[in-house]
Amino acid sequence: MSHILIVEDEAAIADTLVYALQAEGFATTWLTLGEAALALQAASPADLLILDVGLPDISGFEACRRLRRFSEVPVIFLTARDAEIDRVVGLEIGADDYVVKPFSPREVAARVRAILKRVAPRPAAPAAAPVTAQEQRGPFRLDAARVQIHYHGQPLALTRHEFRLLEALLGQPERVFSREQLLDACGVAREAGYERNVDSHIKSLRAKLRQVAADAEPIQTHRGLGYSLRLS
């Protein structure tokens, strides 16, 4: 039974999440403070955290930053803010998903199940044109063993989603990948409603690539279709 840690200071919201998750067969723990959640996760790790951004003691963003120092546990943010910059910041610091209030508890439960399915150990799916360890593709070099991608000789600080997205694009340069295909590359269930976050990850990836080569634009947008990677 997977254990979900809910960190939310509004009792009504927490109650609906506890009910929905327990109805899906998950064990739950509810806390109201970020500091307490960090301490509990360090001592007795949960399988996934649902983390409110606006906590009474420290922000959910700060809690996630500190969490990432010692744990890669999946995190779903809950927030009343729907600005793109908030989603980008949340995903950049290591969150797996971002849910805006008000929300459907059943949808959150479905997202929890999809994320846990993705992170569960599973055999690697064959790729059409896999990039092998230390393979050079244009200005990119992928080190599969170290889960690292270099760009023009510089290592990129990528989240796990960014790494998998860029790895998929590198595997078949010039191919146009739909958002659904990129979800598959990340191992995320399509029914999880995650398509909106693919664009945020691509935006973050582009920003990191521009820090290395400001004038280059290797990731191409194909409106209504998806994204591709240009090596030259």
| Placement of tokens 């546990």 in the chain | 73
Instruction: Dump pLDDT digits (tens) for 167-190.
Output: 888 888 888 888 888 877 776 655
Instruction: Dump pLDDT digits (tens) for 193-204.
Output: 556 677 878 888
Say which amino acid occupies 97: D
Instruction: Dump pLDDT digits (tens) for 84-127.
Output: 666 677 777 778 888 888 888 998 999 899 888 877 765 544 44
Architecture of domain 135-229: Orthogonal Bundle (1.10)
Q: For the chain, what is the mean pLDDT?
A: 84
Distance in angstroms (rounded) separating the CA atoms of residues 118 and 190 = 11
Cα-Cα-Cα-Cα dihedral sign, residues 96, 131, 150, 210: negative
Provide CB contacts within 8 A for 94, sequence distance 6+: 64, 65, 67, 68, 72, 75, 159
Residue 5: what are its φ and ψ, rounded to 5°?
A: -100, 120
The conformation of residue 192, written as its DSSP 8-state character, comes to G
Average pLDDT for 206-210: 89
Cβ atoms of residues 73 and 41 within 8 Å:
yes
Provide CB contacts within 8 A for 87, sequence distance 6+: 98, 197, 200
Distance in angstroms (rounded) separating the CA atoms of residues 229 and 173 = 5
In the chain, where does the domain assigned CATH 3.40.50.2300 lie?
Answer: 3-119
User: What is the distance, to the nearest Å, from the Cα of residue 189 to the centroid of all Cα atoms in its chain?
Assistant: 13
The conformation of residue 109, written as its DSSP 8-state character, comes to H
The conformation of residue 44, written as its DSSP 8-state character, comes to S
Taking alpha carbons only, the member of 118, 119, 124 closest to residue 171 is 124
In the chain, where does the domain assigned CATH 1.10.10.10 lie?
Answer: 135-229
User: The domain 3-119 is classified under which CATH number: 3.40.50.720, 3.40.50.2300, 3.65.10.10, 3.30.1180.20?
Assistant: 3.40.50.2300
Cα-Cα-Cα-Cα dihedral sign, residues 100, 101, 105, 106: negative
Average pLDDT for 70-89: 79
Percentage of the chain surpassing pLDDT 90? 30
